[in-house]
Amino acid sequence: MPTTSLTLISSMATKALLADLVAAYSAQQPDTMVAVTSVGGVDAAKRVVAGEAFDIVALASDAIEKLAASGHVAADSRTDMVRSAVAVAVPAGTPHPDIATEAALKAAVLAAPTLGYSTGPSGVQLAKLFERWGIAQQIAPRIVTPPPGTSVASLIAKGEVALGFQQLSEMTGVPGIDVIGGLPEAVQIVTTFSAARATVSTQAGAVQGFLDFLASPHTADLKRRHGMTPA
């Protein structure tokens, strides 16, 4: 029976990865159990700020920095886990637009009847890109925004989104969609996801053990299988 129980809250982007990492850690440290709650990143941060008791918080690095600045996670415990790039997908079996260059991607966006991207950090950066291209107002009526905790990939699979953008990790292995590639290098969006100890945690030693595992070299292959690269 586990003698130590840790609780972790994360965004949806790392849900599947953390499930596998926790399983690997449990095999290595059977006396420690880590229970993961995965929700929309904005909601996760709100719950931590509201004082909900978690031992570990795993979010985009900028969100972790804000929580450290407000005293909700221990800044010196921040552990960068993975870097995650944005991918583009369409409903399975539909034509694959050219997205090889910035100009081609812009044309594909303008041609798509419906567009979808997350409310997380990658979505914020995409919105800035569309502003920079000068097309934000033009495409606004065609953007389908997923509710918190709902993946863009699921909306693509249902046919509600014709061209969707999300972390590759959240697109990988989803039935009903075709991932057509990453963003062109000139406009690629890469998000670093980090974990840190919540300041309300009373299990600093056990938390640090898990954080050390998250950054350890032998988790690299697992991270790559989830479409991410070790940070």
pLDDT in tens, 126-167: 999 999 999 999 999 999 988 877 889 999 999 999 999 998
- At residue 14, the 3 state secondary structure works out as helix
- What token pair was written down for 24? 């690997």
- What token pair was written down for 89? 């997908």
User: Which residues in the chain land under pLDDT 50?
Assistant: none
Q: State residue 197's pLDDT score.
A: 98
What gap in Å lies between CA 201 and CA 36, rounded to an integer? 15
Q: State residue 1's pLDDT score.
A: 60
- At residue 114, the 3 state secondary structure works out as coil
Which of these, 10, 5, 62, 12, lies nearest to 34 by C-alpha position?
A: 5
Beta bridge partners of 203: none
- What token pair was written down for 165? 């953008």
Question: Residue 75: what residue type?
Answer: A
Q: Is 6 exposed, middle or buried (0-12, 13-18, 19+ CB in 10 A)?
A: buried
Question: Residue 200: what residue type?
Answer: V
Distance, CA of 91 to chain centre: 21
